[in-house]
């Protein structure tokens, strides 16, 4: 069975809403608004032949609008082709339609994105934390969460249960910031506190002042 070209398929259905990203290392991605993403996934599965969802991942871009992105990686067994779909999710309303009804595998992937980024997948049958425990107050893969961790309670109620503390870092972590082009600004610096880390993340170019 010959499947139609997925890009044409998306362009025909969504027109200008489907923005094809520039090709990089032979990979193509298509950006779609979040209201359209589930529809696009269904279309690609039924008509485009993309029968497997390989991966689903959240990405955090602090300071940008929308702050979060969800990346869907689709695979078609019939034509051996991969396609990436990307959608943006704003911080103040972190909701996007679930695709777990389209591919069963999305269930755990979406739970992980919820756990790690706090993204809510509407229509998910069982949206709860998967790697961290129920009741954990933070979303660890958000960029404003420090790598040393934040104090919180353990999920046990016994009196001597203790709690989670931030890891002692002995002068580290020696954090290099992503996305700086000038070599002098890429050199890793120690940041002892979450506040320093926050400043680094928000504005990498002020690194010298820290």
Selected binder of another protein within 7, 91, 108, 152 (CB under 8 A): 108
Find the binder of another protein among 5, 122, 144, 187 (CB under 8 A): 187
Under a CB-based contact definition with an 8 Å cutoff, are residues 69 and 76 in contact?
A: no
Residue of 141, 164, 166, 194 interacting with another protein (CB under 8 A): 141
Contacts to another protein from residues 121-140, by CB under 8 A: 129-133, 140
Long-range contacts made by residues 20-25, C-beta under 8 angstroms, separation at least 24? 21/84, 21/86
The angle, 0 to 180 degrees and rounded to 10, between the axes of the packed helices 6-14 and 37-46 is: 130
- Count of other CB atoms within 10 angstroms of residue 49: 20
Q: How many CA atoms lie within 13 A of 123 on its CB side?
A: 10
CB of 72 to another protein, least distance (A): 11
- In 61-194, the DSSP E strands lie at 68-76, 81-89, 95-97, 120-122, 152-153, 163-164, 174-175, 189-190
Partnered with residue 58 across adjacent β-strands are 70
Structure tokens at 70: 């969800």
Binding-site member from 7, 164, 166, 175 for another protein (CB under 8 A): 175
Query: Of residues 58-87, which lie at the interface with another protein (CB under 8 A)?
Result: 59-61, 71, 73, 77, 80, 82, 84
Q: Which of 9, 30, 87, 103: binder of another protein (CB under 8 A)?
A: 103
Tell the smallest beta-carbon distance from residue 172 to another protein (Å): 9
Tell me how many residues contact another protein (CB under 8 A).
Answer: 47
Alpha carbons 97 and 176: distance in angstroms, whole number: 35
| Single residue of 17, 55, 192, 196 touching another protein by CB under 8 A | 55
User: How near is the Cβ of 73 to another protein at its closest, in Å?
Assistant: 6
- Closest by alpha carbon to 78, among 56, 48, 106? 48
Does residue 30 interact with another protein by CB under 8 A?
no
Q: List interacting residues with another protein (CB under 8 A).
A: 24-25, 27, 29, 51-55, 57, 59-61, 71, 73, 77, 80, 82, 84, 103-105, 107-108, 116, 129-133, 140-141, 143, 145, 147, 173, 175-181, 183, 186-188
């Amino acid at each position: 069975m010959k499947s139609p070209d997925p890009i044409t398929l998306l362009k025909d259905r969504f027109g200008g809403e489907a923005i094809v990203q520039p090709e990089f290392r032979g990979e193509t991605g298509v950006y779609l608004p979040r209201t359209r993403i589930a529809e696009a996934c269904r279309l690609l599965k039924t008509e485009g032949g993309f029968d497997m969802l390989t991966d689903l991942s959240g990405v955090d871009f602090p300071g940008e609008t929308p702050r979060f992105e969800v990346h869907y990686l689709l695979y078609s067994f019939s034509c051996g082709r991969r396609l990436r779909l990307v959608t943006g999710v704003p911080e103040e309303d972190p909701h996007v339609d679930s695709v777990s009804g389209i591919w069963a595998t999305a269930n755990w992937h979406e739970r992980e994105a919820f756990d790690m980024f706090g993204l809510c997948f509407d229509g998910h049958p069982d949206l709860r934390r998967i790697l961290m425990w129920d009741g954990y107050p933070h979303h660890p893969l958000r960029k404003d969460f420090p790598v040393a961790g934040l104090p919180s309670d353990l999920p046990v109620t016994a009196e001597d249960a203790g709690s989670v503390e931030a890891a002692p870092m002995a002068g580290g972590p020696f954090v290099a910031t992503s996305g700086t082009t000038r070599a002098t600004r890429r050199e890793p610096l120690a940041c002892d506190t979450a506040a320093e880390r926050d400043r680094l993340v928000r504005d990498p170019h002020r690194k010298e002042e820290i």
